[in-house]
Copies of this chain bind each other. A is one copy, B any other.
Amino acid sequence: MMQLDATRMAHTQVDATRMANAIRGLAMDAVEKAKSGHPGLPMGAADMATVLFTQFLKFDAATPSWPDRDRFVLSAGHGSMLLYALLYLTGNSEMTLDQIKQFRQVDSLTPGHPENFRTNGIETTTGPLGQGISTAVGMALAEKMLAAEFGKKIVDHHTFVLASDGDLMEGVSQEAIAMAGHWKLNKMIVLYDDNGISIDGPTSISDSVDQVKRFKSAGWAAEKIDGQDQAAIAAAITRAKKSSKPTLIACRTTIGFGAPHKAGTAKAHGEALGAEELKAAKENLGISLEPFTVPDDVLKAWREAGSRGAAARQEWEGRLAELGSRKRAEFERRLRHERPASLAKAVRAYKKELLEKPMVAATRKSSEAVIEVIAGAMPMEFLAGSADLTGSNNNKAKSATAFSAKTPKGRFIHYGIREHGMAAAMNGIFLHGGFAPNGATFLVFTDYARPAMRLAALMGAGVVYVMTHDSIGLGEDGPTHQPVEHLAALRAIPNMRVFRPCDSIEVAECWELALNRIDGPTVLALTRQNLPQLRTNAPNENPCQQGAYELVAAQGEAKATLFASGSEVEIAVAAQKQLAERGIASRVVSVPSLELLLAQPEAKRAAIIGNAPVKVAIEAAVRWGWDAVIGQDGEFVGMHSFGESGPAKDLYKHFGITAEAAVNAVLKRVS
């Protein structure tokens, strides 16, 4: 049984303890009412949150998206009631007590885990452990880069994170802290809720990592304090703000602090305390038994904390006004994720150029060429990077220099061999604002980055994944490196756009669509191997935006339609010619985005798919998803297994992904 430590409480301000208890009370009540949720974290972390929000965090509750606010990321998203309580207490206009009473109900602003796209004042969606701390690295990175560009008068804020044991056990946290340490993101401060309890019991049953030593090994400042001692917390944050390194403050806390029987145990983690324990906890903490009650003086103190930053915000607005209209407009445009007007023009001109000088190249190389055009139009906001495959992914503009702690104006990021950390950081960069981030690796390694990519889709983050080596066409590296199921697996994610362009013109068009998509992520799947330029027109209207279009019409009434994406469109065109030689007319439909085709209005979709009696899909990947286009009895020329190691041409033959196979598929039906 846990008792409050009277000595310890004497060391802290009574008022501040009462303020922390207001968080505890709301958290207990909301979880109790929902009969579901996590009271333990908010109760344990209430002191940290109180110190941070009343003494340090630069924010203005009335203007939650003020650009130069400090960011607070609740990486331990299951403790969402901590955030909702803070939003309500500090005076966020939408977060009413009614919303708190609707905790975890459909359509409320208080879902089980924090959702930034739903609730104003929440910086990022968290819940899947490890994501918050890794996303925060991207926010702190964006701050550093933007500050170097626009000056500290305009950009000068901290990124605070509250992380749990689980966040630090997840592997992605290692990628994140290694990057933050390497980049010396000294304005990132992690409060680690070191409560020693996870769902299965004491963390000692599964863990014995010394987190302070671990973070130090990654270039962080790190120390351990009593996380229930508000003075100690304040002193540690003060030290952290002065450090030249990012800082971990391991705060020893008691999960479910205040609950007489469940505190310090896994029972306080993920379920309602129950009426009896709740009552006893409230008595123990000296707070009202009436649910959802905050004493007037406590609420007033919290509201004052919530408006503490108003003056700072006004001063900042003054400085922004002094910036000069042009630079100010640029800053604001960047934060809105609006593309410069010059982009569309430049891409349009480049497409015309391609028509005149067709390009035979791998689409990763076509992409490199388009990137030159894009980076020309938006050199400071186009923020590329690669997980240590820069020369293979070809997404570095010639003009871009490497970002580092010493060169914060560099616009190419060497993420290291950290696909997951890269994707999470990109989420943070986008959410922070000011940049159009894109990150690169081989398509097969989207598997490593998937949890962060899913969050991008859920949050509607407009990031771009440059995924090269997109099929068995990568050749000799073999099945561990050859994606076969990845197109299907990515297309299945709601709000994820997957483009697999077939030539240099489609590459330009898909890049433009990707950059203009600021409400969701885009995968560009690009080849290692050379492809011809197939397009013979470059209309101002972008045909890729409907997912698919007739690339080559049939000469005569079409007996078959050949659908293909990316590198297999070349095969479809060759098959079409062979069929024509046999007197069989067929259409070729290029499908740069299968899921976008399927999302078209029924009539448009039907028109694109057409009604030729035989439908063949050609894609060097598994069939999943294609039945929606070609039907159950459609012919599929593609992969039915993992790949193999060998030269690309040999593999296409080995697996029967050839024009001859497509022709035979048609001939089987047309006789």
A residues neighboring B (CB under 8 Å): 34, 36-37, 77, 104-108, 111-113, 115, 125-130, 165-166, 169-175, 178-179, 181-182, 198-201, 203, 205-211, 213-214, 216-219, 386, 388-392, 402, 404, 414-418, 420-421, 444-445, 447-448, 450-451, 454-455, 457-458, 475-481, 484-485, 488-489, 491-495, 622-625, 627-629, 631-632, 639-642, 644-647, 650-651, 654
Query: Are B488 and A650 in touch, CB under 8 angstroms?
Result: no
Which chain B residues lie closer than 8 Å to A451 at the CB level? 445, 447-448
With A206-B414, A213-B213 already in contact, 12 other A-B pairs whose C-beta atoms are closer than 8 Å: A36-B476, A105-B647, A111-B645, A166-B388, A171-B420, A171-B421, A178-B208, A182-B209, A203-B416, A209-B219, A214-B214, A495-B641
Query: Are A113 and B481 in touch, CB under 8 angstroms?
Result: yes
Query: Are B641 and A494 in touch, CB under 8 angstroms?
Result: yes
Query: Are A171 and B169 in touch, CB under 8 angstroms?
Result: no
10 A-B pairs whose Cβ atoms sit less than 8 Å apart in the complex: A104-B645, A106-B647, A169-B418, A182-B206, A200-B391, A208-B218, A210-B217, A210-B218, A457-B642, A494-B640
Which chain B residues lie closer than 8 Å to A448 at the CB level? 128, 170, 450-451
Chain B CB within 10 Å — which of A200, A632, A639 has the most? A200
Quick one: closest B residue to A218, CB to CB?
Answer: B209
- A417→B75 CA distance, assembly (Å): 14
Which chain B residues lie closer than 8 Å to A392 at the CB level? 199
Query: Are A414 and B200 in touch, CB under 8 angstroms?
Result: yes
Which chain B residues lie closer than 8 Å to A179 at the CB level? 206
Which chain B residues lie closer than 8 Å to A77 at the CB level? 480
Which chain B residues lie closer than 8 Å to A108 at the CB level? 645
Which chain B residues lie closer than 8 Å to A201 at the CB level? 414
Query: Are B127 and A477 in touch, CB under 8 angstroms?
Result: yes
Query: Are B169 and A417 in touch, CB under 8 angstroms?
Result: yes
Query: Are A478 and B199 in touch, CB under 8 angstroms?
Result: no
Chain B CB within 10 Å — which of A125, A492, A623 has the most? A492
- A321→B501 CA distance, assembly (Å): 62
Known: A416-B198, A416-B207. A115 touches B478 (CB 8 A): yes
Which chain B residues lie closer than 8 Å to A390 at the CB level? 199-200
The distance from the CB of A283 to the nearest CB of chain B, in whole angstroms, is 28
